[in-house]
Amino acid sequence: MLPSVDWRTAASCSRAFSKGGPTMSREGALDVVADLHRHARNAIDLVTDYTGLVPETFAGAEVVDRVRWSQINIAGFRRLLTGLGAETVGDAAPSAAAKLTGVQAGAVLAFLSSRVLGQFETFSTDTGRLLFVAPNIVEVERRLRLPSREFRLWIAVHEAAHLTQFTAVPWMRGHFHGLIQTFFDAAEPDRSSAAGLALAVRRALASAREEDPPEPGGDVMTAVTSPEQRQAISEIQALMTLLEGHAEAVMDGVGRTSINHVQLLRRRFDRRRANPTTLQKFLRQLLGLDAKMRQYAAGRRFVDHVVNGHGVTGFNRVWERPANLPTEAEIDRPELWTARVLGARG
């Protein structure tokens, strides 16, 4: 049974909980917007040259603030869940459960809206949207003392890599959405999650306080899912790890020839990821975002291993068909993937 969500409540809560961005003059803000649009167009060409993948016609990027980012993602989730058969909350008064779910969704999106730098959002339209959250990009480049224009291009390359993955690979979008469909089809309507949620919160608090290391399976998603859903999650995780690792490899591969201070950017940016605040640790563990952090590293190791041994052309076999995607085990042991797909050792 799919969740019923009061999306109006979600939208109002995301607005209420969102933090303000860094202080900027109007001229400075317009310069950031123009810069990101210019870098987005350049990044598409750079990614195409590096990967050999040609995306569909680029309709342009959207440079947004935190509230607008939340609104777009709410529209995407609403469209996705409605398409999967979720109950639509119309003009009638929403149920208490739908309102509560809306509050939860709004709070999570408000938190994420202050962290996300860019996104290729795949649900709200038929073609997807390339988004850049300008306040967050400016905030990070100021805090880490990064060369602004180089950092913006570097981030644009990462998101352009995601756009390329979803538009240059004809089956990718349908495959990704199909995995999500499988996840919801495997839901158990009567599954009791209260105890699991309480345990997830306790584990997240312990991890944030550094009393215990983060535990696999300690997040909310694991607490409320069935074994069949967790199998679907495994396939989704493997795919997302590949996509994130590939984007990381592409941004540095492009950076070596097109960005003067790419090593500085990588060093300081990785330090930011590795040193979250206590609150951020808690929310990462609770929401399963620690898995997202691990995806960057594990996916990058997989991509680097294959590219170093078999070149970009050998790695690009992964895009030929869904059966060529690596499993979670193959992400950790890329030689298994090269043996299965390339018929090669190592």
Read off the pLDDT of residues 199-243 as tens digits, 9 standing for 90 and up: 545 554 455 455 555 555 555 555 556 777 777 888 888 999 999
Among 135, 169, 203, give the residue marking a domain's end: 169
Q: How far is CA 76 from CA 20, 63, 120, 176, in A?
A: 23, 17, 12, 14
Q: Which domain holds residue 40?
A: 1-169
> In the prediction, which pLDDT does 208 show?
46
Among 115, 135, 169, give the residue marking a domain's end: 169
Same domain, 163 and 241: no
The CA radius of gyration of the chain, in Å to the nearest whole number, is 20
- Cβ proximity of 65 and 14 under 8 Å: no
End-to-end CA distance of the chain: 44
Q: Which of 84-88, 101-105, 131-135 has the lowest mean pLDDT?
A: 84-88
Among 232, 228, 233, smallest CA distance to 216 is for: 233
Pairwise CA distance, residues 299 & 312, whole Å: 15
Same domain, 9 and 106: yes
Flag whether pLDDT at 1 surpasses 60. Answer: no
With cut-offs at 50, 70 and 90, classify the pLDDT of residue 279: very low
Same domain, 181 and 269: yes
Among 169, 194, 225, give the residue marking a domain's end: 169
Residues in Cβ contact with 131 at an 8 Å cutoff, skipping those fewer than 6 apart:
61, 62, 63, 64, 69, 72, 118, 119, 120, 121, 159
Q: How far is CA 339 from CA 42, 325, 326, 332, in A?
A: 36, 13, 11, 14
Same domain, 85 and 205: no
For the residues 130-136, what does the mean pLDDT come to? Answer: 97
Percent of residues, the chain, with pLDDT higher than 90: 56
- Cβ proximity of 301 and 176 under 8 Å: no
Pairwise CA distance, residues 66 & 131, whole Å: 11
Read off the pLDDT of residues 169-197 as tens digits, 9 standing for 90 and up: 999 999 999 988 888 787 665 544 445 44
Q: Which of 104-108, 196-200, 272-276, 317-321 has the lowest mean pLDDT?
A: 196-200
Task: Map 87-103 to HEC letters.
Answer: CCCCCCCCCHHHHHHHH
Beta strands in the chain (DSSP E): 61-64, 118-121, 129-133
| H or E stretch covering 300 | helix 289-315
Same domain, 123 and 265: no
Predicted TM-score (pTM) of the model is 0.84
Read off the pLDDT of residues 300-318 as tens digits, 9 standing for 90 and up: 999 999 999 999 999 999 9
> In the prediction, which pLDDT does 254 show?
96
The strand pair at 118-121 and 129-133 is best described as antiparallel
> In the prediction, which pLDDT does 276 show?
53
Say which amino acid occupies 142.
Answer: R
Same domain, 145 and 21: yes
Flag whether pLDDT at 54 surpasses 60. Answer: yes
Domain of 37: which CATH number?
A: 1.20.150.30
Give 341 or 276, the one with higher predicted confidence. 341
| Total number of domains constituting the chain | 2
Same domain, 247 and 98: no
Same domain, 117 and 158: yes
Q: What is the DSSP string of 178-211?
A: HHHHHHHHT--TT---HHHHHHHHHHHHHHHTTS
Average pLDDT, the chain: 84
Same domain, 174 and 297: yes
Read off the pLDDT of residues 146-167 as tens digits, 9 standing for 90 and up: 999 999 999 999 999 999 999 9
On the CB side of 156, how many CA atoms lie within 13 Å of its CA?
28
Same domain, 136 and 283: no
